Amino acid sequence: MPVLPPPPRYPAPGHPGAPGVGPLIETNNTLTHPTGPEHQLVVGEGTYVLRDDLYLATPPPHPSEAPVHNPNPLATTISPPSVGTKLSLVVIAPRQASYSRLYRLDTTTSTRSQVPPSIQESPHETNSQTSDTGSHSANGVAPSPLEGLHTPPFGGSNPMLSLLNGKESKDPLKKRKPKSNIVKSNSSFVSRVIPHEALSKRLQEHNPNGLYAFANINRALQWLDLTSPTKEEHMTKVLFTKAHALCHDINQVTKGPNHIDLILGFSTGDIIWYEPMSQKYVRINKNGAINGSAVSEIRWLPNSENLFLASHMDGSLIVYDKEKEDAAFVAEDQAPAADPASDEKGDRKASLTVKKSVNSKNQKTNPVAYWQVSHSKVNAFAFSPDCRHIAVVSEDGSFRVIDFLKEQLLHLYHSYYGGMICVCWSPDGRYIVTGGQDDLVSIWSVEESMLVARCQGHNSWVTAVAFDPWRCDERNYRIGSVGEDCQLLLWDFSVGMLHRPRAASVRQRNSITSTTLRMQRSQTNGSVTRFRSDSNLTSTSQDEEEVVHPVEPRARTAMLPPVMAKKVDEHPLCWLGFEEDCIITSCSNGELKNLLFPCRKNTINWTLAAR
Amino acid sequence: MSSFFGRFKPGTSPASPASSNPPAKKDPNAPQPTPLEKLLLDAGPIRADGSDKFFGFENFGSTCYCNSIVQCLYYSVPFRDLVINFPSRSPPEALERPTQTPLPKLNTDISPLANGQNSALSPKGRNSMSSPSGARKPVTSPGATTGQPGTKPEDNKDSPEYKKKMAIAAGPVLTMDYENSKSYGMSESLFTSLKDIFEAIIAHRSRTGVVSPHKFLEILRRENEMFRTPMHQDAHEFLNLLLNEVVENVEQFAKQRKVDGHTDQETNGLTTTSGAVIPDKPSSIASIASINTGWVHELFEGTLTSETRCLTCENTSHRDEAFLDLSVDLEQHSSVTSCLRKFSEEEMLCERNKFHCDNCGGLQEAEKRMKIKRLPKILALHLKRFKYTEDLQRLQKLFHRVMYPYYLRLFNTTDDAEDPDRLYELYAVVVHIGGGPYHGHYVSIIKTQDRGWLLFDDEMVEPVDKSYVRNFFGGDNVLACAYVLFYRETTEEAMQKEQEAEGAAAASSVTTAQQESLALSPTKQNGAVNGHPLQHATTPTVEVDEPLANLNHAATAPLLHTEHTPLENIVTSIPILSPRRSNVQSKKEKEEKAKAEKEKKAADKELEKQAKQKRKEMELKRRENYKKQEDELKAALAASKASKLEDDRRRKENAVEGENGTTSKGGLSRFRHSSMSIRHKPKFWPSKDRHEGTKDSEHDPPTTPSADGENGTAADTSDKPEKEKSKNRFSLGRKKSTFHL
């Protein structure tokens, strides 16, 4: 036996194996304009060219934080969650909702007649549409997103909530600002604020139709004016001490030339309400007083000035009020107690655990409502255009549709396999699109509550999906998706095309029963119940089946190929946005790609407008 | 003090073998319980199936490839069970064995004397560092050395070197320098030695410890020149070798047993000369006919079908091949899903790689693709991170970022595959750490039955977070990347159950953490049950109002089902309106309003119910439809199977004829398979091949390894040209026929 050398050692520090510590000084953003065929996308409607390639500077780690350098690649230390750069975009000027183009006059007259009746008559659409939705659809007019205005406000039935809100909204014109000044703040949470030297001048010069963007890069938040000729120079940069901003959202109701309500969710669980114009802020869920886990997604409640919804990594969804104080949260166990049936359902995991209902009378402090969706991390959620539902996707591969007004779970689906990462609604609220670790973009029909198609084309996990509302009409939809494979994919799917190959009989039958069923119901309600009990005999629990949907086998599902696939970056992409005249992508290391498409219709070419 | 320590440790460990280290002592230098020991504190009695044994494996210098793979196989539950139970024994024997002869060898006795003997006995001469007594020295005085500059890496308490030393020091060390092959009725082989290791681990009283696989490595090196050097080896190659070796050993045993059985029957009543066979005799005679030698195949083997479509005559030919693991090419920024799909992508056979079409009789351009026809129970996925680069004339490691999900299904199945949507779950990852293929380190991260994910780094075993598994996707500047992934079949129910359990565990850990950090008094925690004082005031009203609301509902809408539980939530939300009565507005107005609202809600509910009803009906119809489709499919499948059987029979007949008539087609035929695969699966080819029946029979005689490279192992051999004689018989690389990889 020869003498053996000693067991292998771990590589010495300094080897490329060492994780990048990043720059040690503040750097500036850089803007380039690469040209060439490799920076173009060719799609049916024309060619997109790369307009701007903006590289956002990665901030150096905070000096108080000794750079943790572990040469051991097997180190089991758990690093805090971090994400790539995401954007929140806002145009100050009130603009026509992009969705309105969906409901052009011609759509109601010509093509409408070809639409299968099940789509036209959509009182059943989201299964909880109010009666006025029904009347809408009876005219053959699809429910428009504006309908959100007709839906009752969240928690509207709770006098405690409305009382508070009513009292405070005496002067609707005067927007309330957060309390503390972020520049002068001596909070240990905020490290530094770097406003642009000529911030006020730039604010004045800003075109109201121009695009503001807020972007997170590690512990920094940058406010950018994407229409400015000096767009690489940030308007304001806020550096936080330790926490990374993982998600943010702008309130579209309260935005104005002198006011932007931005809400930020952090890796520490903290939430900051930030008004960049006046540099004021307020910290909510301070040190995780209400929920200590990281915020994975945050959004303002539609049409709400004050309320926003945050998903935490422990699987809870929490509604906060931007102006309320924190209070240590103790679950209010009212819902299961009042309704023993929901207890039973809870065992089957097919329900939403309401830890605090919006109808709770204790509304002096945050949280306004607290729902435990699942125990695995919620990766993303999205509000439906009719402002009634939320679609929630989780790390365990589950995808839920929740009626947040009624605080109940409507549907529970599952990914083909692996976790789900992103979700969005079609502009008309008929379809939900998800992306996940199965490399698939999945399209779900809301009205039929089923999987419509799987879109295969990504070579890795899908990290963001979005509808292009400017290229959607009532029968054709344009979807974009980006993934870990650095690719941007565009998908076109049309309602008729998708349904024909499979389940054709279902559709046909459906169109018949939609009329017969109603008759039957008006005549004898008893028959309906009998039907129910009959089906109960055959399947073990009808109720559960209704909520929990099994995974569709591959053989039964339509596969949709992309219309365009293009590697647009060197790094995994993590965010995608469609604007009227461009597509914007961002990647994990803070690079923004702005793909201009010059021949989009009705374009306000804001580069020209901004001079 | 060191002497005290030296005496103390071995003395106490037998007393508490389960959570081996003694509890915390006043001695500041006392070893803290390792994370693994903390994890196992609440463990109950040791299970007999070995699922709660967590042993490290000693590294004899670059033997981490072996350690990581053997660990993965140990925690492949069905594999472990079958290794333990083969050859099948009658129950009394199974009970006897641990107490019989092997016992003294098992080192279950951890008295200081035995420990000393162990180190003395180990003939291979472990260097003093790793011997128990030697290793204990730094333990006694770690405080003195840590602060000093220029300390060795193993002096840092957090370093793996230190932890490994501690693991050996803590023991017990199972020195596997013996073999029990005789008592299994088998001749000494890699299989028996692997079985020895598994049995020893299971039989041992301690839950943790270190295995020194001397014999195993000795046999491995004796029989395989390739592994004789102390060089860094390829873990995947080793896995392949080991699986094939096990298959071979088991089959050899069965063959021998058959012969023995016959002699037994012939010499009925006479004692056989080989004493080893005697204990197994009763069972062996009973099970001669039913010795199951195919269990490795049953677990790891799947079937690939290569479809080749001749572009000239449009004729498609199929050929099936067995695989024990899949080797997939990698791309930067991709996922395992995508790599598997690429594996099955169509490939053009043209120019130098033209296809010999039987139909048109000549070399033709063709399209070829590989799909999975039969899914394995355990899918071993080899990510080809070591790639031959021509300009450098050697292998290079690819650091590509390749994502792997916890759960997986395969897209690249054939249309007639059984259970094409089979769900797999990730349960073991072999990680390679290092800058290149010729050096580095292997560890494995394995999901255990009820202890979550554990990191097995040679002697060290450490619990890790589930998310830790995701640290090895690879990427620039990431030295540690996943190399072999083990997926096993599972069900959706199992997945959901597990996720629920995980969620519950996470939730409980959160609450305990909160309890600790916020120092909530127990009363406050309990308060959650009754709600806090404010809540007390409101709850009764809810209870009182509820029946009222129900009554209202009954009046307006007779359609109230108690089974319709989700809707009940609306009802509960209404009573909360009641406090408003005390508000400024007139009571009457309020009530009316409430009533109106209730009615409206009832109407809503009605509508909703209708919608729901409709949906349900649709769903039902859809399901019926599916069922019908499925039935049709099944019928069609059955029909095709029947016709295929017919076909096969005819072909076989043809093949027999063809064997006599045809001549060799030359080296360019693409349908030669490696000799080894035939040897292992003799029954496989004639029955499965559709179009190549004639050719297969003609190429059945073993071919030279270089000719093998033409198909089955093309990618592998070109990957490792210096290892031309590699035994990757079942490993199927992506069959890129060109050699620039």
End position of a domain, from candidates B287, B311, B330: B287
Tell me which chain B residues have a C-beta less than 8 angstroms from the C-beta of A359.
573, 576
Contact across the interface for B478 and A17, Cβ inside 8 Å:
yes
Cα(B16)–Cα(B23) distance, integer angstroms: 9
Confidence of residue B673 (pLDDT cuts 50, 70, 90): very low
Å between A150 CA and nearest CA of chain B? 14
In this structure, which amino acid lies at residue A464? Answer: A
Residues B193 and B270 in one domain: yes
What Rg value do the Cα atoms of chain A yield, rounded?
Answer: 25
Q: Is the pLDDT of residue A396 over 60?
A: yes
In this structure, which amino acid lies at residue B147? Answer: G
Q: Is the pLDDT of residue B395 over 60?
A: yes
Residues B270 and B308 in one domain: no
Residue A397 falls in which region: left (phi positive, over 0), alpha (psi -120 to 50) or beta = left
SS3 content of chain B, % helix, strand, coil (to 5): 50, 15, 35
Per-residue pLDDT at B556: 38
Residues B336 and B371 in one domain: yes
- Which residues, at least 6 apart from A13, have a Cβ–Cβ distance to it below 8 Å? A69, A71
Cα(A197)–Cα(B295) distance, integer angstroms: 74
Question: Within an 8 Å CB–CB cutoff, is residue B255 touching chain A?
Answer: no
Q: Does the CA dihedral B583-B587-B593-B595 come out positive or negative?
A: positive
Lowest mean pLDDT among A47-61, A173-187, B704-718: B704-718
Question: Kind and range of the H or E element at A583?
Answer: strand A582-587
Per-residue pLDDT at B300: 92
Nearest to B542 among A292, A338, A396 (CB): A338
Cα(B679)–Cα(B80) distance, integer angstroms: 25
Residues B360 and B467 in one domain: yes
pLDDT tens digits, B655-664: 554 444 433 3
More confident residue, A494 or B283: A494
Nearest to B406 among A15, A418, A503 (CB): A418
On the question of a cis peptide bond just before residue B149, with omega within 30 degrees of 0, the verdict is no
Q: What is the DSSP letter of A484?
A: T
Nearest to A525 among B153, B420, B559 (CB): B559
Q: Is the pLDDT of residue B712 over 60?
A: no
Q: State the number of CA atoms in the 13 A half-sphere of B506 facing the CB.
A: 19
In a domain, B697, yes or no: yes
In a domain, B542, yes or no: no
Residues 522-551 of B with CB under 8 A from A: 524, 527-529, 531-532, 534-535, 537-539, 542-543, 546
Q: In the numeric block, which tokens belong to residue B253?
A: 């045993």
Distance of CA A290 to the CA centre of its chain: 22
In a domain, B209, yes or no: yes
Q: What is the 3-state secondary structure (H, E, C) of B640-699?
A: HHHHHHHHHHHHHHHHHHHHHHCCCCCCCCCCCCCHHHHHHCCCHHHHHCCCCHHHHHHH
Q: Is the pLDDT of residue A563 over 50?
A: yes
Residue A385 falls in which region: left (phi positive, over 0), alpha (psi -120 to 50) or beta = alpha
Nearest partner of A325 among A293, A290, A298, judged by Cα: A290
Å between B648 CA and nearest CA of chain A? 27
More confident residue, B11 or A306: A306
Å between B335 CA and nearest CA of chain A? 5
Residues B314 and B367 in one domain: yes
In a domain, B523, yes or no: no
Cα(B114)–Cα(B121) distance, integer angstroms: 10
Lowest mean pLDDT among A588-597, B66-75, B193-202, B502-511: A588-597
A with B: how many residue pairs have Cβ under 8 Å apart? 312
Distance of CA B652 to the CA centre of its chain: 38
Q: Is the pLDDT of residue B553 over 70?
A: no
Å between A184 CA and nearest CA of chain B? 30
Residue whose tokens read 């399947």: A539
In this structure, which amino acid lies at residue B509? Answer: S
Residues B361 and B471 in one domain: yes
Strand partners, A240: A190
Distance of CA A212 to the CA centre of its chain: 18
Asked if residue B724 lies in contact with residue B708, where contact means CB atoms within 8 angstroms, the answer is: no
Q: In the numeric block, which tokens belong to residue A276?
A: 């960049």
Residues B276 and B315 in one domain: no
Confidence of residue B180 (pLDDT cuts 50, 70, 90): confident
Asked if residue B473 lies in contact with residue B481, where contact means CB atoms within 8 angstroms, the answer is: yes
Cα(A95)–Cα(A209) distance, integer angstroms: 8
Per-residue pLDDT at A591: 66
- Which residues, at least 6 apart from A585, have a Cβ–Cβ distance to it below 8 Å? A482, A488, A568, A569, A573, A575, A576, A577, A592, A593, A595
Residues B180 and B280 in one domain: yes
User: What chain B residue is nearest to A514 in terms of C-alpha separation?
Assistant: B614
Residue ranges of domains in chain A, CATH in brackets: 387-570 (2.130.10.10)
Nearest to A330 among B527, B559, B616 (CB): B527
The mean per-residue pLDDT over the stretch B350-365 comes to 81
Per-residue pLDDT at B455: 93
Q: What is the DSSP string of B331-357?
A: -TTEEHHHHHHHHTS-EEE-GGG-EEE
Residues B247 and B383 in one domain: no
What is the CA angle B547-B549-B554, rounded to 5? 90
Residues 146-165 of B with CB under 8 A from A: 153, 159-161, 164
In a domain, B185, yes or no: yes
CATH number at residue B341: 3.90.70.10
Q: b vs e for B45-65, b when ≥16 Cβ sit within 10 Å of the residue's Cβ?
A: ebeeebbbbbbbbbbbbbbbb
Cα(B165)–Cα(B171) distance, integer angstroms: 10
Residues 622-681 of B with CB under 8 A from A: 622, 625-626, 629, 633
Lowest mean pLDDT among A123-127, A248-252, B230-234: A123-127
Per-residue pLDDT at A229: 83
Q: In the numeric block, which tokens belong to residue B589?
A: 């107005």
The mean per-residue pLDDT over the stretch B266-279 comes to 40
Å between B188 CA and nearest CA of chain A? 20
Tell me which chain A residues have a C-beta less than 8 angstroms from the C-beta of B634.
none
Q: For this complex, say whether ipTM is above 0.90.
A: no
What is the CA angle B477-B483-B484, rounded to 5? 160
Per-residue pLDDT at A317: 93
In a domain, B632, yes or no: no
Cα separations in angstroms, A383 against A242, A322, A416, B560, B576: 30, 19, 23, 30, 26
In this structure, which amino acid lies at residue A400? Answer: R
Other Cβ atoms closer than 10 A to B510: 15
Percent of chain B with pLDDT over 70: 55
Residues B419 and B394 in one domain: yes
Mutate: best of A268, A460, A530, A544, partner B, most B CBs <10 A: A460
End position of a domain, from candidates B287, B315, B332: B287
Per-residue pLDDT at B528: 36
SS3 label, residue B369: strand
Question: Within an 8 Å CB–CB cutoff, is residue B333 touching chain A?
Answer: yes
Å between A92 CA and nearest CA of chain B? 37
Dihedral of the alpha carbons of A504, A506, A511, A513, in degrees to the nearest 10: 160
Contact across the interface for B506 and A314, Cβ inside 8 Å:
yes
User: How many helices, marked H, and strands, marked E, lie in chain A?
Assistant: 12, 36
Nearest partner of B189 among B247, B235, B229, judged by Cα: B247
Contact across the interface for A485 and B335, Cβ inside 8 Å:
yes
Residues B241 and B341 in one domain: no
Per-residue pLDDT at A261: 92
Per-residue pLDDT at B614: 75
Residues B346 and B491 in one domain: yes
In a domain, B452, yes or no: yes
Q: State the residue range of the domain holding B225.
A: 52-142+155-287
On the question of a cis peptide bond just before residue B172, with omega within 30 degrees of 0, the verdict is yes
Q: State the number of CA atoms in the 13 A half-sphere of B394 facing the CB.
A: 6
* Number of domains chain B contains: 2
Distance of CA B146 to the CA centre of its chain: 39
Distance of CA B572 to the CA centre of its chain: 48
Asked if residue B286 lies in contact with residue B293, where contact means CB atoms within 8 angstroms, the answer is: no
Contact across the interface for B337 and A438, Cβ inside 8 Å:
yes
In a domain, B675, yes or no: no
Contact across the interface for B572 and A338, Cβ inside 8 Å:
yes
Helices (H), B295-335: 295-300
Cα(A93)–Cα(A553) distance, integer angstroms: 47
Asked if residue A494 lies in contact with residue A565, where contact means CB atoms within 8 angstroms, the answer is: no
Asked if residue B483 lies in contact with residue B328, where contact means CB atoms within 8 angstroms, the answer is: no
Contact across the interface for B615 and A513, Cβ inside 8 Å:
no
Cα separations in angstroms, A153 against A150, A405, A522, B366, B393: 8, 8, 31, 64, 69
Q: Name, of A550-564, B154-168, B722-736, the range with top average pLDDT.
A: A550-564
Mutate: best of A161, A375, A388, partner B, most B CBs <10 A: A375
Asked if residue B713 lies in contact with residue B674, where contact means CB atoms within 8 angstroms, the answer is: yes
Lowest mean pLDDT among A203-207, A262-266, A381-385, B16-20: B16-20
Lowest mean pLDDT among A214-228, A300-314, B262-276, B321-335: B262-276
Lowest mean pLDDT among A38-47, B93-102, B510-519: B93-102
Strand partners, B430: B444, B484
Q: Is the pLDDT of residue A273 over 90?
A: yes
> Which residues of B participate in catalysis according to the annotation?
64, 441
Question: Within an 8 Å CB–CB cutoff, is residue B421 touching chain A?
Answer: yes
